[in-house]
Amino acid sequence: MTKPEFDKLVSEGRITFGEDGNNNPALKIYLNETQDGVVPRTIWPHKEAGHSQEAKREVMALFDDDTPFSTPKPERLIRQILTIASNPGDTVLDFFSGSGTTQAVAHKMGRKWLGIEQLDYIRDVPASRLKKVIEGEQGGISKAVEWQGGGSFVYAELAASNCAFADRIEAAPDMAALQTIHADMQATGYLRYDLDLSAFDTDDFAALPLKHAKRVLMDCLDANHLYVNLGSLGDADFDISDEDARATRSFYGLDT
């Protein structure tokens, strides 16, 4: 915004400097000038919902002053959300466990929960944090909800299928390793049905820079088969144990 434009808005009373007149200038927007109303700057003040520094202190207290997760959320914020969106006994689903704040708060508030995480730190951060919650740790909202510990949770990992190829591709040190992986993929991997893999030219592939060659192989994998699907539990190629098969069927409420 140019100075003449700003001065014009000031003269029209469209700029506010706060109640005491000393705050940063802000543009006034009226309801009739928007399609869906005014977007609020925040839902709750930090006095009610906490802030990022508070969240980091909560995590550091659980991990000996270490910060194993850089962007945790404050427990008070999640408590506000779960108070509005759920009741005791409801199940809370978090697709991105992160530092485990949502599961920790849900546990303390008497909710059941399901946390999912793809990255390897799930054992070191959220799972470790939840063990401390069960032991009765007194950080975050613990005192506010009179948390004394208790409960349990089950940790499980998805059985790898194409994900195993993806890990090998990422770790491959050179083209020779990638060519071996490519041969294994053709023999045993689930490849994308929408690609004309017969047009794959091994000479052109070998001439690619390593980074680009890895991307090509990744694109050939069928992402729907990164992990073993429920319908493939009995497939001998995956070698799923009877114990794991029973646990999986139990999770889905199927006859074991």
pLDDT tens figures, 133-143: 999 999 999 99
Residue 57 predicted with pLDDT over 90: no
Structural domain containing residue 8: 3-33
Query: Could you tell me what percent of the chain has a pLDDT over 90?
Result: 39
Query: Is residue 54 located within the same domain as residue 129?
Result: yes
Confidence at 43, pLDDT banded by 50, 70, 90: low
How far is CA 212 from each of CA 174, 192, 219, rounded to the nearest angstrom?
Answer: 12, 18, 11
CA distances (Å), 74 to each of 53, 98, 111, in order?
Answer: 8, 12, 18
Do both 129 and 184 map to the same domain?
A: no
Q: Do residues 28 and 51 both lie within one domain?
A: no
Q: What is the CATH number of the domain that holds 90?
A: 3.40.50.150
Structure tokens at 82: 């779960």
82 inside domain: yes
Q: What is the mean pLDDT of the chain?
A: 87
Instruction: Return d(Cα 142, Cα 148) in angstroms, integer.
Output: 8
CA pair distance 125, 103, nearest whole angstrom:
12
Residues 22 and 95 in one domain: no
Phi and psi at residue 195, in whole multiples of 5°? -110, 140
Residue 110 lies in a domain: yes
Question: pLDDT value at position 135?
Answer: 96
> Is 41 a residue whose pLDDT tops 90?
no
> Does 204 or 19 have the greater pLDDT score?
204
Instruction: Show the tokens assigned to 250.
Output: 């139990």
Say if 143 falls within a structural domain.
no
* pLDDT at 195 exceeding the cut of 90: no
101, 171: one domain? no
Q: How confident is the model at residue 36 (pLDDT cuts 50, 70, 90)?
A: low
Q: Confirm whether pTM is higher than 0.75.
A: no
Residues 252 and 164 in one domain: yes
Q: Are 163 and 256 in the same domain?
A: yes
How far is Cα 219 from Cα 195, in angstroms, rounded to an integer? 9
216: buried, middle or exposed (CB in 10 Å: 19+, 13-18, 0-12)? middle
Q: What is the pLDDT of residue 3?
A: 87
pLDDT tops 80 at residue 98: yes
Looking at the structure, do residues 115 and 189 belong to the same domain, yes or no?
Answer: no
Residue 18 and residue 52 in one domain: no
Co-location of 9 and 83 in the same domain: no
Give the single-character DSSP code of 144: T
Rounded to an integer, the average pLDDT of 40-58 is 77
Q: Does residue 79 fall inside a structural domain?
A: yes
Asked whether residue 151 is domain-assigned, the answer is: no
Q: Residue 41 falls within a domain, yes or no?
A: no
Q: Is 85 in contact with 167 (CB distance < 8 Å)?
A: no
Highest mean pLDDT among 18-22, 104-108, 182-186, 237-241: 104-108
The predicted structure's pLDDT at residue 49: 82
**Rounded to an integer, what distance in angstroms lies between the CA atom of residue 216 and that of residue 34?**
46
Q: How confident is the model at residue 37 (pLDDT cuts 50, 70, 90)?
A: low
Instruction: Please determine, for residue 42, whether its predicted confidence score (pLDDT) is greater than 70.
Output: no
**Residue 47 binned pLDDT confidence (cut-offs 50, 70, 90):** confident
Confidence of residue 173 (pLDDT cuts 50, 70, 90): very high
Count the domains in the chain.
3
Q: What is the pLDDT of residue 172?
A: 96
- Examine residue 149 and state whether it is found in any structural domain, yes or no: no
Q: Is 142 part of a structural domain of the chain?
A: no
Do 119 and 180 belong to one domain?
Answer: no
Say yes or no: 109 and 16 in one domain: no
Q: Do the Cβ atoms of 228 and 244 come closer than 8 Å?
A: no
Compute, in degrees rounded to 10, the torsion defined by CA atoms 85, 91, 95, 96: 80
Residue 256 has pLDDT above 60, yes or no: no
pLDDT above 80 for 199: no
